[in-house]
Structures are given as structure tokens and as C-alpha cells.
Chain A
Amino acid sequence: MASRRSALVLPGVAILAFAIFLGFALLRLFLVEQDMRDNVDENMLWVTTQAQVASHRFDQALSRRALGSGDQAPELRFDILVSRLRLMDDGPQRRYLRQVGLEAPLDSTLTHLDAIDTLLAAGSPGAARLVAIQTELDPLMSTLNRIATGVMKEEWESTGARLDTYRTSLIQVIASVVGILICGLLLIGLLILALRQRRAAQRALMQARDHLEDEVAHRTRELETERQRVVTAIETAPDGFAAFDALGRLQLTNPKLGELLPLPVETPPTLDALLTHIRQRASREEPTAQTVDQAPDDEMQCDLELNDEGWRQLTVRPTPEGGHVLRVADITRYKAAASTLERSLQRERGVSEFYRSFAAMVSHQFRTPLAVIDSGLQRLQRRHRRFTAEQRDERYARLREAVAQMTRLVESSLTAARLDGHQVEARPACHSLAAIVDHLCRLQAEAGGNDRLAAQHASPAALAWCDRALTEQVLANLVSNALKYSPASQRVEITTLREGDRALCRVRDSGPGIPRVEQDRLFERFFRGRTASGTEGIGLGLNIARHLARIQQGDLEVSSRPGEGTTFTLRLPAAPEESADD
């Protein structure tokens, strides 16, 4: 700013000096012009000499009249002389003479003129009057001559003074012109300098602009390349992408998105609409970070199982500009692998549980029968000779019974351990409970030869959705218990029926019944009721039976009243009546 102001000082001073010089020169010239125009006194010498001439012509006319020559009229010449002197007496002329100190001589001539006029008016001039006129005329003429000399001297003086003034003015004007010239040259120099600076500045500006344009073009190319790279990356990405602006409007998608998601036919207007649309077509949804219900202001991630299209992982992330980016990844294979792994892990856990459970049962339950067998064998060994053959046979039979019980115990323990380790799988199909019960009764009759079982079918087939082998195992356990815990004279009633969406099988005995307090613990492992103390058993049968019922989506219940008998009810999912396998 300061340099700019100082840059203006020099031109300003030059222009000011230029104006001052020019104004001074013009003023000088104007004054000279005025002086020349006002110069009226030059005429004064002419006026005076003409008055002199007139006086001489009057004198000449008088002389000729005296000599007798009548053609010259002194009166006319006198009139002319009078007019001449009156002219000198007029305002401007008299003022001039007063200024130069010649007023008194003028008055003197006018006095003489009046005297001559008086003499002339007296009539035709005789010799005496001519002499008198001459007497007045001579001083008039000499005074006029004096005035003429004075005027001449004054005019020459004033002309000289004026010339001096003119010369001074001229020198001043010339000096001013030289000053004007110098100022002009200075201004021209400054102008050339300014033009040169401006041209340099323009050139620098052009260069800067060219450079800027190059830079912009370069940056534009780089940006375009970068954009192309991003577009290519997005286009060829294994995941689907969609970008939304701050108002939720769709800005960009890649082709993969359409392959991975069931996009609506019309372009989804907003992110919310797209998410709603996808959720409507999802069969399962597992949130990983947050669910899709969350407002998409923050980050959100969830896994969706689309109908018949596998699993997709949706990730919504906010962008710095206030918009959002949706990423859709196909995680079907990942999910499949995960579930396979999950199943393997479950299986391994089951196996482990199986061994642990089996080991626990063996350590808990096997000692007693083994001790019984061992003590029986020791007694046989010691008293072998004292025993009769019948006694020995009885002892052997009891030992075999103990071994048989152990075998059953091992089988029951294996079954229970398998159940604990989830090693037992139900393969359900449609089976008739009535058929199963009848088959069981038949086998029982063939094996035991008794006819205590009485089957009764309220529903013709009582179709159930179950695993036949497992159901047979449950029913066999129930029938075995009923036969075992009721008097041999009493019958065991087996009833099949349908009840709503369940197929039921009831096994009822007329035994001693089970106290209320024991009913709740009846299905616990190794629990044995007080009423069952006189009967052999290990307390695994009902526990296993209920497990087997439950893995078929069914259940096993008990209802009993001491002294009146006990009823076990197996409930299984009913199957449509027309879809029986057998």
C-alpha cells in the first residue's frame, strides 16, 4: 500500500508541475496580449503631429492671405486646427497628457486658440490683427512642438519598457515551456515504465494462468483415473455396493448388488425403502452389530437369509458427507461352513459327554453287581464240596441272573449315555401306534407266555409322527414296568387314541401306585421308588423312556394313586390319518 502510494507521488508531482508551468505561461501570454490590445497611446503621436500640421497649414493660409492670394481660407484651416486641439482636449487624450505631465502645455495651447478665435471673429483681418494672431500662434506652435517631443519621448520610453516587460515575459514563458517539456518527458518516461510493468505483470499473469490450467488438467486426469479405478474396483468387487446421499437417495450401485439382492423393479428411492424391501424377502435375520430396525444414522450390520437364495451380510456405514454406503456380501458358504462346524462340534461334545456319562454310570452302578458276583463266586469256591448239586445249580443260576442284570445295566447305561451325548437321532415317519402296541403284545405273549396284556384302540390307527424303534423301546419299557410292579394276577391295559394333534398311548397297571412326592422324581436318573424296593431295577428305564419320547417331540407323563395303580401316558405328534406307512 505504501509503495503504491509512493509510486503515485512522482506522477502526481509531475502533473502538478506541468499544470503550474502551463498555467504560468498562459497567464504571462494573456497579460502580454492584454497589454498589446490596450495599447492606445501609440495614436497620440499621430494626433499631436496632425495638430502641428494643422497649425502650420493655418499659419500658411494666414501668410498667403497677407500676400494677397485668396484661394486659401484661413477660417477652414482654423476650424481644422480647432478640431485637432479639441480632439487632444477629449477625455482619453487629455488623460494621457496628464499622466505624462503635459497637461499644462495643452491648456496653454487652448488659451492661445481661444485668443486667435476671438481675433478671427472680429472680421476680415488687417495687418495689425494678422500680427496679433501671429503673436498668439507662435507660442501655440512651439508648445505643440514641445508636446510632440514629450509624447515622442514618452512613447519611446514606454515602448522600451514594454519591450523589456515582453522580453522578461518571453523568457519566463520559454522557461515554463522548458519546464513543461521536462514534465512531459518525465510523464512519458513514467508512462513507458508503467506500460512495461503492466506488460510484465500481464505476462506473469498469463504464465500463472497457463500453469494453473495445466495443473487443473493434470489434477482432473488424476481424479478421473482414480475415479475409474474406484469404479472398476466397485464393479468387479465380489460384494454389492450402493451409495446414498445425505437425503437417503440412491447415487450409485454396482451390478453385483442386483445379483445378490432381490432389488425392487422400480429404483428404490431411499435407503430405508430398500432395507424394508429386503427385510420383507428375508426368512431369517441375525443381527451382528445392530439390526436393520436400527435407524441407519450409525453403523449397522446384520445377516439375512433370503428366501431360497442363501445368506447375505448387509453393512451400512455413514460417509463423511452425511450419506451412507451399503455393502452386501454373499455369506452363504460361510454360513454353511459355520453350521457344519457347529454340528461337528456338537457331535464331538456329544461323544465326549457320552464317554463321561458312561464312565460315571459304570463307576457308580457297576460296583454293586460285580461285588455280588464276586462274593457268590467266593462262596462257591469255599463251599464247593459241601453244597449239593441242587444247591450248586441254584447258586450258578443266581450268578447268571446277576451277570444278566449287569448286561442289561450296560445296555441301559449305553443308551442313557448315548442320549446324554445326543448320539441318538430320531428318524420320524408316520406309524400307527395301534400296530406297534399289537406287535408288542404279540412278542410279549410269545416270550413270556402270559396273557396279562389287554390292548384297546379308541382310534382306528392312532397315526403318530415318530421313530418306530424308539417308540417300541419306550412302550416295551412301560409294559415291562407295569408287568413287574403289579401283581401277576392283574391285567395291564394298553390304550391308544388321538387327542387333538397328539397321538396317545396309555399303559395302566393295578399295582401299589406311586406316592405323590415320588412322582415328581420318578424320571430322574437312578431314582428308585419306595414301592419298588423289592424289585430288581437300576433306575434308568423311565429316564431313558422320557428322553426318547422328547427327542421325538413327544413326552411321557405319569399319574398314580397309591393302592389304585399307575398310568403312564406317551404323547407323540399326530400324523394325518391317510399317510400311514404300514
Chain B
Amino acid sequence: MSFRHLLTITALVVTGLAASGMAQGQPAELPPPEGRPLLEVTGNIGQTNRGHVALLDRTLLETLPRHELATSTSVTDGVKHFEGFLMRDLLEWIGAEGDTVAAMALNDYLIEIPLQDFHAYDVLVADTMDGERLTPRDKGPLWIVYPRDQHRELQDIRYDYRWVWQLYRLEIR
């Protein structure tokens, strides 16, 4: 394990402790989004703010604990530095209950992911890469990033297709 990985894990632990503290302090009611929603969550969830849907703008998403992750990807060269929040924290926040989540992208890419992934690994929902905010022209606004370098079993094409970019919708099933 390299020194960089050690740093990353240390950072994850520190921010994770902070996240649990913040999660307990969350209000019961999900406030309505003020800006343009980046992500909408439907399905079997406990927190909504419009009908049966939870609409989340950047402000709301940024209340979640921030995490960093350095890993290589299957479609880029070298190690990339991602920032964002943990999928696990998000699901807990909105009270998601189920086995799978259907992730949908702007280009109509639709993939089902077992919820177990997010408990087994620190799967990040990244909004920046190498310090730059992800845009729809790149792979933004949100990109599901698995800790590929930290876990050897994740270096597999059966996980590669779960790296959904241009994410805008989640449905808990």
C-alpha cells in the first residue's frame, strides 16, 4: 500500500466520522431545492420534497460530507483525483430502502447497481475531477466512481459498467 493510499484512507476515516455526526443532525423534512436540481431520487425512499421524488440541487448535495478519492479509471490515463460525497451517505440521508438502485444518465444510459456495493466500498459520487468541476460536456455533473485502485476485485469489466457518468437520476428498488 503506498503512502498516497494511506493518506486517502486516513482522510476517508476522518471525514466519515464527521459525516455520521452531521447525519444525526439532519432535519426530518427535506427542504425544497432552491437552484436547478442536479439529481432526482425516486422509488423506496423516506425523504422527499416534491411528490414522491427527492430533488437535490448543488446546495443540498453539498451539505453531505465531502470525500476525496484518488484512483485510475478504465477510460482515462493516470490517476485522477475525485471529490464528492459517498453514495452510502446520500442513501442514508434520504432513507433509501431496497436491494438495487437504477442509475440513469443524460444519454439514456440505464444500469442497475446492487445497494450492497455502497456498503462494501466507499463508492463516491464525484462532482470534481483533478480540482475541476465536472460538466455535461465532460462526464458531469455527477459521476459514480468506484475505489478501483484500492480494491483489486473492482478492476473488472463487470464493475466498469457501473461507473455511470452524466448521472441525473436514481431509482431505489
Contacts and interface: CB of A to CB of B under 8 A. Distances in A.
Interface of A: 40, 43, 50, 53-54, 76, 79-80, 82-84, 86-87, 90-93
A50 to B, nearest CB: 7
Given A79-B136, A83-B165, A91-B76, 19 more contacts: A40-B74, A43-B74, A43-B157, A43-B160, A50-B107, A54-B107, A79-B135, A79-B137, A80-B106, A83-B107, A83-B136, A83-B137, A83-B139, A84-B107, A86-B137, A86-B138, A87-B75, A91-B77, A92-B77
Given A50-B107, A80-B106, A80-B166, A93 B75 contact: yes
Interface in B84-106: 106
Nearest to A53: B107
Contacts of B138: 83, 86
Given A79-B135, A79-B136, A80-B166, A90 B76 contact: yes
Contacts of B136: 76, 79-80, 83
Contacts of A87: 75, 139
A90 B165 CA distance: 15
A46 to B, nearest CB: 10
Interface string B159-172: 01000011000000
Interface in B44-99: 74-78
Contacts of A80: 106-107, 136, 166
Contacts of A84: 107
- If over half of B's interface residues share one DSSP class (helix, strand or loop), that class is named, otherwise mixed; here it is loop
The 10 closest A-B pairs by CB, nearest first: A91-B77, A79-B136, A82-B137, A79-B137, A80-B107, A90-B76, A83-B137, A90-B75, A80-B106, A83-B138
Nearest to A94: B77
B102 to A, nearest CB: 19
A482 B75 CA distance: 177
A218 to B, nearest CB: 77
Interface residues of B, number: 16
A53 B75 CA distance: 19
B75 A92 contact: yes
A86 B137 CA distance: 8
* Residue with the highest number of chain B CB atoms closer than 10 Å, among A79, A92, A93: A79
16 contacts: A40-B74, A43-B74, A53-B107, A54-B107, A79-B135, A79-B136, A80-B107, A80-B136, A80-B166, A82-B137, A83-B137, A83-B138, A86-B137, A87-B75, A91-B76, A91-B77
B75 A76 contact: no
B76 A92 contact: yes
A234 to B, nearest CB: 95
Contacts of A90: 75-77
Contacts of A91: 76-78
A84 B107 CA distance: 10
B105 to A, nearest CB: 9
Interface string B118-155: 00000000000000000111110000000000000000
Contacts of B77: 90-92
A65 B74 CA distance: 36
Nearest to A47: B75
A76 B157 CA distance: 28
Contacts of B74: 40, 43, 92
Contacts of A82: 137
A127 B106 CA distance: 27
B166 A83 contact: yes
A76 B137 contact: no
Given A83-B136, A83-B137, A83-B138, A76 B106 contact: yes
Nearest to A80: B107
Contacts of B160: 43
Contacts of A54: 107
Contacts of A50: 107
Contacts of B165: 83
A86 B136 CA distance: 11
B4 to A, nearest CB: 21
Contacts of A93: 75
Contacts of A86: 137-138
A95 B146 CA distance: 24
A83 B137 CA distance: 4
A91 B137 CA distance: 17
A50 B139 CA distance: 14
Contacts of B76: 90-92
A50 B106 CA distance: 12
Contacts of B78: 91
Contacts of B75: 87, 90, 92-93
A93 B157 CA distance: 16
B154 to A, nearest CB: 14
A71 to B, nearest CB: 15
A84 B75 CA distance: 12
Contacts of A43: 74, 157, 160
A43 B138 CA distance: 18
Contacts of B107: 50, 53-54, 80, 83-84
A83 B164 CA distance: 13
A183 B135 CA distance: 63
B168 to A, nearest CB: 10
A76 B36 CA distance: 14
A54 B136 CA distance: 13
A40 B157 CA distance: 9
A84 B166 CA distance: 11
